[in-house]
Amino acid sequence: MTEHDTGDVPGAFEMLLEEVDAEISLIKKLATTATEKGEFETAKEAITKAEKDTAFRKRVSDLLEEWNEQLAPFGSLPENASEGGKKISRRDLGKLKKGLRTRHDEFYRPILQALMDLGGSAKMRNVLDRVAELMKNKLKPVDHEPLPSDPEAIRWRNTAQWARYILVKNKLLKSDSPHGIWEITPEGRKYLVK
């Protein structure tokens, strides 16, 4: 193998993010159920766990962004590359599962464009409907499947919501919008025209 293949690294991060998303979704359901039953101590514990998992997810997402921006493929290795007489090669970790979901960073521009198309501010459902139109040729079959932990949640919509979270953290979407409303910032408008 002459080309150094790092394509599986982003895929591995995406698989981890998906599993963490599933865990968070499950914990949210647990918290809701516990609250409905009046089991407030259990609900508090679940909320604390969800907060920790969300912080962990953010760290993993940041690492993925760092990988994509700075540490991504560096070109090719010589066919006979060696270190101390040992041939250098990538570990064979096996194939990642087919149909890996569309990465969250691929949703950034469509979300911003959807908001521009909708006047700069819109209900989440309307934004996601517009994103679906903009990404219809990019979304993979696996993106249309429900999350294993939540049959009501479609994978790509969940990924888009995490993308929104990152856009808010990067000040491209407003953080103080009313619940259920997504709004683009002046920085988001500038980013879109780059």
pLDDT band at 171 (very low <50, low <70, confident <90, very high): very high
What is the sign, positive or negative, of the torsion defined by CA atoms of 117, 138, 21, 67? negative
Q: What are the sequence ranges of the domains in the chain? A: 8-87, 104-193
b/e sequence 21-50, b meaning 16+ C-beta within 10 Å? bbbbbbbbebbeebeeeeeeeebeebbeeb
Label residue 50 by pLDDT band (50, 70, 90): confident
pLDDT band at 102 (very low <50, low <70, confident <90, very high): confident
Q: Which two tokens stand for residue 127?
A: 């934004």
Q: Which residue has the higher pLDDT, 156 or 11?
A: 156
End-to-end CA distance of the chain: 37
Residue 72's pLDDT is what?
47
pLDDT digits (tens, 9 = 90+) for 108-132: 999 999 999 999 999 999 999 999 9
For position 185, what pLDDT does the model report?
A: 96
Q: What is the pLDDT of residues 6-30, one digit of tens each?
A: 445 766 777 788 778 878 887 888 8
Contact yes or no for 117/130 (Cβ under 8 A): yes
Q: Is pLDDT at 134 greater than 90 in this prediction? A: yes
Multiple choice CATH, 104-193, 1.10.10.10, 3.40.50.720, 3.40.50.970, 1.10.1660.10: 1.10.10.10
